Amino acid sequence: MWSLLNQMDSHLTSIYTPYTCNITDESQRKAAFNERKKDLIKEVSELSPLCGVEAYAIIHDANEPEPEVWPSHVTAHTVLERFHMSKEGGRQRKLYIKREEKAGIER
């Protein structure tokens, strides 16, 4: 599963690499953000059935108080819960907790 996620990550990274400069014009920045958001949602919606996995995207817009969750909050929550319940998810959770402990972050 992790190799599939790494492939997806490298694919998405290659798509969005050209967007590394800051856009100073506010209207152009919003237009570019909306275009990237649309492209990201399209990629996730295509990769999910193609790879046979459930996927979600959380997109934070600095101009909105709440992040946008695609396809829904319920789907994102169930996928995340299933991941944490899996063996690999448990390992990742332990690594995350260890990093928090090293950084001195309390839960």
* Residue 1 clears pLDDT 60, i.e. is over it: no
> Percentage of the chain with pLDDT > 70?
70
Q: Which residues contact 70 (CB under 8 A, 6 or more apart)?
A: 41, 44, 45, 56, 57, 59
Query: pTM of the prediction?
Result: 0.61
Task: Give the amino acid at 21.
Answer: C
Whether 34 and 8 have beta carbons less than 8 Å apart is answered as no
Q: What mean pLDDT is reported for the chain? A: 79
Angstrom distance (rounded) from CA 41 to CA 87: 28
- pLDDT mean over 39-44: 93
Residues 6-19: pLDDT tens digits?
555 555 555 555 55
Angstrom distance (rounded) from CA 38 to CA 79: 21
Whether 69 and 56 have beta carbons less than 8 Å apart is answered as yes
